[in-house]
Chains A and B, each alone.
Chain A
Amino acid sequence: MASGVKPRVKVPKSAAAGETITIKTLISHKMESGQRKDDDGNPIPRSIINRFTCDFNGENVIDITLEPAISTNPYFQFDSVVPESGEFTFTWYDDDGSVYEEKKAIEVS
């Protein structure tokens, strides 16, 4: 696991059934592009988060493939409808094979 990787997500705690909510996500990650060189002139190997997904109760909301052009500490904002109470699952996939997961429950009335 790359060091110091920390996900953050912002989801409202409650919503009305069928309401559209806005979700924000951020994960601390250096997103080493593979384009840089170290002090000795050797290329620094690419090491990025290459995929991010968000699902709600097993149904997909968004599925993003990230390239090295995504900035350090990748940030995404998107919308979702919430048909019923349940749980969002956020998953980030690291080049090094690590998978970071975060869950957020939402109460739907």
Chain B
Amino acid sequence: MSYNKKLTIGLACASALGFGVAAWAGPDEDNLVINGEIEIVTEAAAPEHMEYVDTIYSGWRFRSDETQAVQADDFDNPSMIFVETAMEVWDTVEGTEGKSCSSCHNDVESLRGVRAVYPKWNEKAGEVRTLEHQINDCRENQMGAEKWKYTGGDMVNMVSLISMVSRGMPMNVAIDGPAQSTWEQGKELYYTRFGQLELSCANCHEDNYGNMIRADHLSQGQINGFPTYRLKNTKLNSVHARFKGCVRDTRAHTFKPGGPEFTALELYVASRGNGLSVEGPSVRN
């Protein structure tokens, strides 16, 4: 099995790079309106800092009509089961301080807009932090509760809930000021080839988006839709879990979810989506 698996991954990448151009299909022309009311911007002019791409597209535009339809209605979107679980957790007191999320933040709607600006510079900590870092900071220091596993179920459910209340707002992470050096680091990672297959993020998601990588329609690798419910593993997937999967598939030692490399990469990749709507929790293949 492992031999065959490697062989097929090798084939996949060879076919993407070798035959990609023949299969150009680009993003489709569909519009996404969730529940008939939340309009989602899935196409926008690329932010100024992007040198090689003129137009940015949500990954939703690269999926089949059937997959797209699942995200257009919150009942059809299986993510929402997990969001409902997170809503209960939101009000559940945990830890030594006798607090729940709602003790400080009241209704989760009060966090509308938060997802759109993360990862974000944290002045007190003197570092760029992801939403997951911030949630664990709250748990540890405000609630006196145990930290959640960075890519674990509790965490990805909560990130999905916080993301959901920002749906439709434009992604707008800051890349200047104190965040700039982290952003530069992320950019460096994005263009660095990793692994035995010597692939960078850009090789697939900048040079070849719209092409087929074996049977899969390559997107721009935007993360405005995260967390995302994947039909493949039928659960919510976090940004760093996805990064890890990508790096592993280049046959490289991957970085640690929640670590400084992926945090920098997340800031950079998020900034490539500035202007697209927050979409998570989305549905992908």
Contact = CB atoms under 8 A, between A and B. Distances in A.
A24 B75 contact: yes
Interface stretch (A71-79, A87-95, A100-108): A71-79
Interface of B: 75-76, 78, 80-82, 84-85, 234
Contacts of B80: 8
A75 B80 CA distance: 13
Contacts of B75: 8, 10, 24, 26
12 contacts: A4-B85, A8-B75, A8-B80, A8-B84, A10-B75, A24-B75, A24-B76, A26-B78, A28-B78, A28-B82, A72-B234, A73-B234
Given A72-B234, A73-B234, 13 more contacts: A4-B85, A6-B81, A6-B85, A8-B75, A8-B80, A10-B75, A24-B75, A24-B76, A26-B78, A28-B81, A28-B82, A73-B81, A75-B76
A107 B3 CA distance: 60
Contacts of A24: 75-76
A26 B234 contact: no
Nearest to B78: A73
A73 B230 CA distance: 12
Contacts of B234: 71-73
B78 A6 contact: no
A1 B78 CA distance: 21
A37 B80 CA distance: 29
Contact-residue size bin, chain A (C-beta under 8 Å from the other chain): 10 to 19
A8 B83 CA distance: 12
Top 3 nearest A-B pairs (CB, nearest first) are A72-B234, A28-B81, A10-B75
A19 to B, nearest CB: 19
A72 B229 CA distance: 12
Contacts of B76: 24, 75
Contacts of A10: 75
Contacts of A6: 81, 84-85
Interface string A1-38: 00010101010000000000000101010000000000
A73 B80 CA distance: 11
Nearest to A72: B234
A75 B75 CA distance: 10
A4 B75 CA distance: 18
Contacts of B84: 6, 8
Nearest to B73: A24
A30 to B, nearest CB: 8
Contacts of B82: 28
Nearest to A71: B234
A24 B82 CA distance: 17
Contacts of A8: 75, 80-81, 84
Interface in A24-82: 24, 26, 28, 71-73, 75
A71 B76 CA distance: 13
B284 to A, nearest CB: 15
A72 B231 CA distance: 9
Nearest to B81: A28
A31 B66 CA distance: 22
Contacts of A72: 234
B202 to A, nearest CB: 34
Residue of B75, B80, B85 contacting most chain A CB atoms (<10 Å)? B75
A42 to B, nearest CB: 16
A27 B80 CA distance: 11
A72 B82 CA distance: 13
B157 to A, nearest CB: 11
